């Protein structure tokens, strides 16, 4: 069956009561890529979690609205993903698959679509094979496989989202990337503002002036049938003069307030990307169902301060607003 797209539905809501509405599940920590930007928690530690266990966990979360499946490379556990998507679709829970797309096939894409996958989310940062290969540390021929599978997703009618990281390596090429995204039939383009991540030794952020220039250019040249989502910019969008309009959104961050990350070993994190702090473990007494009612100290501290590394990087001498 075809699933209605609800991409970023949680992020477009006005922040309110803190409760678990989104769960990102690290189905496997293993990956066939070695991306420079990777922020996966304990990547390649061999931990994974079965569909049966994930279904048991989410069946106990009555307020859950969305499940994101991630890795590592999530399609290394393709059958588990398919089973989870099938269960969620039958119970009114939106699903997102975060993948590098290289292990997909036409058969797998159609099966995920028919199971009710809400959207498939693919990283796309380059328009040339050699640049792609250098960043992802793979052979340049993998770029052709990526493009082929993206086109298969759109041709199958699967809601496809391409995410581009805005950082030093892409800031001068954002319009060309956007045009390539459109050429492949994708109509939802997410721009992820790069942040400093000490836990992964990543520090390649876009300077404020370049960020403004890139975002403005993308909005100016946006096609009428394309939707742009800008993430990790919500805390300072107004300060930089950005305004939402039809098809242009500066989505709110929900990590830690509405969404948590579950690793294969049971560890619960606030967010792999910006705040990879373990706040409990489902196999060591922490209940996801009650986690906001009985907040671990690390979660309470986070909610009190609501840190934003994206803001801190661009406005280092100002108090985080």
pLDDT digits (tens, 9 = 90+) for 116-127: 999 999 999 999
List of residues 6+ apart from 229 with CB closer than 8 A? 7, 8, 11, 188, 189, 190, 191, 249, 251
Mean pLDDT of 224-241: 96
Q: Is the pLDDT of residue 2 over 50?
A: no
Q: What is the average pLDDT score of the chain?
A: 91
The CATH number of 22-314 is 3.20.20.70
The arithmetic mean of pLDDT across residues 267-294, rounded, is 93
Provide DSSP, 132-186. Answer: HHHHHTS-THHHHHHHHHHHHHHHTT--EEEEEEESTTTTTSHHHHHHHHHHTT-
- Under 8 Å between Cβ of 51 and 80: yes
**Omega before 234 cis (within 30°)?**
no
Q: Determine the average pLDDT of the residues in 198-222.
A: 90
Burial of residue 318, with CB atoms counted within 10 A of its CB: 0-12 exposed, 13-18 middle, 19 or more buried: exposed
Stated pTM of the model: 0.93
In order of 38, 257, 271, 319, the CA distances from 307 in angstroms are 21, 12, 12, 10
Instruction: Give the model's pLDDT for residue 1.
Output: 37
Average pLDDT over residues 250-279: 93
Burial of residue 285 (CB within 10 Å: 0-12, 13-18, 19+) is: exposed
Q: Please state whether beta strands 227-231 and 267-271 pair in parallel, antiparallel, or not at all (unpaired).
A: unpaired
34 confidence band (pLDDT: 50, 70, 90): confident
Q: Which parts of 6-131 are beta strand (E)? A: 22-26, 66-70, 94-99, 119-123
pLDDT tens, residue by residue, 70-117 = 988 999 999 999 999 999 999 999 999 999 999 999 999 999 999 999
CA distances from 34 to 107, 209, 215 (A): 26, 30, 28
- Which ranges constitute the DSSP H helices of 221-317? 297-305, 309-314
Distance of CA 39 to the CA centre of its chain: 11
The pairing of strands 227-231 and 22-26 is unpaired
Reported as a pLDDT band with limits 50, 70 and 90, residue 199 is low
> Domain boundaries in the chain?
22-314
Cα–Cα distance for residue pair 106/293, rounded to 1 Å? 44
Total Cβ atoms within 10 A of residue 146: 23
């Amino acid at each position: 069956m075809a699933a209605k797209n609800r991409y970023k539905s949680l992020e477009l809501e006005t922040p309110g009561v803190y409760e678990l509405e989104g769960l990102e599940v690290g189905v496997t920590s293993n990956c066939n890529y070695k991306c420079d930007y990777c922020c996966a928690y304990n990547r390649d530690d061999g931990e994974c979690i079965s569909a049966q266990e994930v279904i048991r966990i989410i069946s106990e979360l009555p307020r859950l609205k969305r499940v994101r499946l991630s890795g590592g490379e999530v399609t290394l556990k393709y059958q588990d993903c398919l089973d989870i998507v099938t269960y969620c679709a039958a119970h009114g829970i939106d699903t997102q698959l975060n993948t590098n797309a290289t292990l997909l096939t036409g058969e797998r894409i159609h099966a995920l679509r028919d199971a009710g996958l809400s959207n498939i989310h693919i990283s796309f940062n380059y328009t040339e094979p050699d640049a792609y290969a250098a960043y992802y540390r793979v052979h340049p021929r993998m770029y052709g496989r990526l493009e082929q599978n993206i086109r298969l997703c759109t041709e199958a009618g699967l809601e496809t989202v391409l995410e581009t990281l805005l950082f030093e390596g892409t800031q001068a090429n954002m319009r060309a990337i956007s045009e390539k995204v459109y050429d492949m039939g994708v109509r939802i383009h997410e721009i992820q503002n790069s942040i400093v991540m000490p836990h992964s030794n990543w520090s390649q952020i876009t300077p404020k002036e370049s960020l403004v220039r890139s975002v403005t250019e993308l909005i100016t040249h946006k096609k009428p049938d394309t939707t742009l989502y800008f993430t990790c910019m919500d805390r300072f969008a107004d300060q930089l003069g950005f305004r939402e309009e039809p098809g242009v959104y500066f989505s709110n961050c929900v990590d830690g307030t509405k969404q948590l990350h579950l690793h294969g070993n049971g560890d619960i994190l606030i967010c792999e990307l910006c705040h990879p702090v373990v706040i409990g473990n489902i196999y060591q007494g922490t209940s996801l169902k009650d986690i906001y009612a009985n907040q671990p100290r690390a979660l309470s501290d986070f909610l009190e301060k609501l840190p934003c590394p994206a803001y801190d990087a661009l406005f280092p001498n100002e108090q985080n607003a």
